[in-house]
Structure 1
Amino acid sequence: MFSPMRLGHVTGFAIAMLLAHPAIFAEDIDIFVGGTGAQTAKPNILFVLDNSANWSRNDQHWLPKGTSQGQAEARAIRNALGGLTGKVNVGLMMYVTQGSQNDNAYVRHAIKELNTTNQSALNTKLDRIYNNINAPDEKRQSGPKYGYLMHDVYNYLAGRTSLDSGTGTPSGLADASGYQTSYSRFSSPLTTADLCTDTYLVFIGNPQSSGPSTDDSSNSNALSALVTAAGGTADRLAGSGSGTPLPIPKFTLNRQTEVESLGLSKDCYNNQNSCTSAVNAAGSDCLNAGYSSCVCLSTKESPRDNECGNQDRYMVEGTIINETMVPTGDFDTSKGRDWNLDDWSKFLYVQGCRFRVQRCPIHAPASLPIPSTSSTRNRTTIIPVS
């Protein structure tokens, strides 16, 4: 029989903070494990990672200095899961990276219990990403279409054929347990034990400043057919000439500057300008410590032991720029016509995906659950993290 999977709702902000500061916001783990501990089946967490070319940039000033977006994301996932051993099931999906520019996805780590063995295996994969962020089998070309990525997320959860029959899947990195047939058909991670369990999709995007590439009519037609088959009506999708697209929340950039006194320079200099040029140069200790810029002040100290000869040490200041995207409360009601990511999210939230549940034979042991013919729903949450 087929049972639909339904979506619940959790704010992306809470999860974004959990990824960034797992120790400070450890209580947010209850979002995944449940505050009462009453659930018998473990919740599922599927991380969906945009590994397109922009993930190797370091414009956000991640620490240590020079850390790229993708590296910070892999490290954040690893850290956030540190306190969830034995409490959840976890998986990871990414864009395929081999061959021509494909927008389909592959299973890097199939959803499975986060026990000690599986957590070690996942950490090894995350470390591999961190250490090879620019490798051609880790990073795909720029300009991805998010609609196809989310279509394959649906296909994986539903145990359907993968887009393009899995063309471009890096065979050395894909998790074979995520497939019925490598790599053309996914194996659904959902079972009868998951019918009343929440499934969380944590999407981490790395789009270009202009946004992801516009989705096409093929992706829109596939989504529209699924929505219609589930008894719903699609909003205006990419390439469609009628209807109203889903509104997109607007954000504003909140930039705050902090200046810290770092004490006297380690080395000695002839003048203030020479000192500033040194401490603000690429690879300097000051910039490597995570400061956006460093400068030497006119305040100086001439060592009494003649260690500097006729030179001086200068007081150094470091500047940190903190940038935070803050929702304005307004919505853009036009740009959504180009992208289907939110529409796939809405579909999974409202209609859910259908996955096959095998009936137990009549001679099955009494301990095995025999699914009823009634419709049972599984809740899934889409959590965007940019």
Structure 2
Amino acid sequence: MIFLDAAATTPVRREVLDAMWPYLTGEFGNPSSHHTLGEAAATALADARRTVAAVLGCRAGEVTFTAGGTEADNLAVKGIAVARQAADPQLNRVVISAVEHPAVEESARYLERFHGFIIDVVPVDGTGQVTPEAFQKVLTPETAVATVMYANNEVGTVQPIAELAALTHELGIPFHTDAVQAAGWLPLDTKALGVDAMSISGHKLGAPKGCGVLFARGRTKLEPLIHGGGQERGRRSGTENVAGAVGLATALTLAYAGQEEQRRRVTALRDTFISAVLGGVPGAVLTGHPSVRLPSVASFCFPGTSGESVLLELERLGVVCSSGSACAAGSDAPSPVLTALGVAPEVAQTAVRFSFDATVTEAELAAAAAAVESAVGRVRALGA
């Protein structure tokens, strides 16, 4: 099997399992307990927090461990908006882009339904980018929070986050970015990016599912979603997942060891793969920005096919990939991301996404490109 669905999830790295193992077995204490087992857990949690902070270029106290990227997005968007509106009721608008992950968009819709917020949606161009000019037009003095994802999970387009954050700061508006797909591939220095909040998920990096991080700058007001014992400096109550935090910190460190070389290698392989698919499949269309995109994502539409039929044929040939976001599994509607790019709905339903982790090889992608040519040809021949 050639696994090319790393944007959905990645296998847990052995080094991560080894780092987690003590906290799943003998060192099982609650980090809030004042005894030896509890203190050992608290030390491990603090070490993990410092490790994550070092990668993000922030203070350890600005790192909140969550149950994943979705919770981190919810905490950022809802938590910042509600906290700012409580301080100033006139702050009743939320800015999102047209290509956000459902965790961000649905958080904004919640604020609209239950807290009276108005959602301002920034359009994207045909490559999936938010231009600074379009972004600036929707910012108002009433904007409580603005959020634009760092890199898109379906088409891989990377956004000019530092430029967008600078525009919000001119108006005193906090800026959040969903960096779930960017983590491991793009710089995460929060000071250089200028972001006030940033979400990361462990299972995209070789850590287990169920662990994530929200960076929130110390001065950023944030209303917690989960109330209780006041863990995570009051931002996220509940007994901490110590093993998950250790695993995420380990995976994040490993992802950024030799990251520049890794990114160059995978980018070159991605470009060769894209050329092979476009050259081998008549009518194939690359979606997303042609060059300002994640090294790890190549996404196409294959007009005259059904994307789901192509996926099934590819799996029969030993290639596992996706038709888009795993969070939209089971939906037969055209991707909102692709339609936001201006792709016709009937063409959007032919989409297939290939996404790689850092272990992908030239031979795997060459075999996958040949399989794509065969699969699309067969589906077209059968009229499926």
TM range (shorter): under 0.3
Normalized per residue, the structure richer in helix is: 2
**Which structure has the larger Rg?**
1
Greater RCO, 1 or 2 (C-alpha within 8 Å, sep 6+):
1
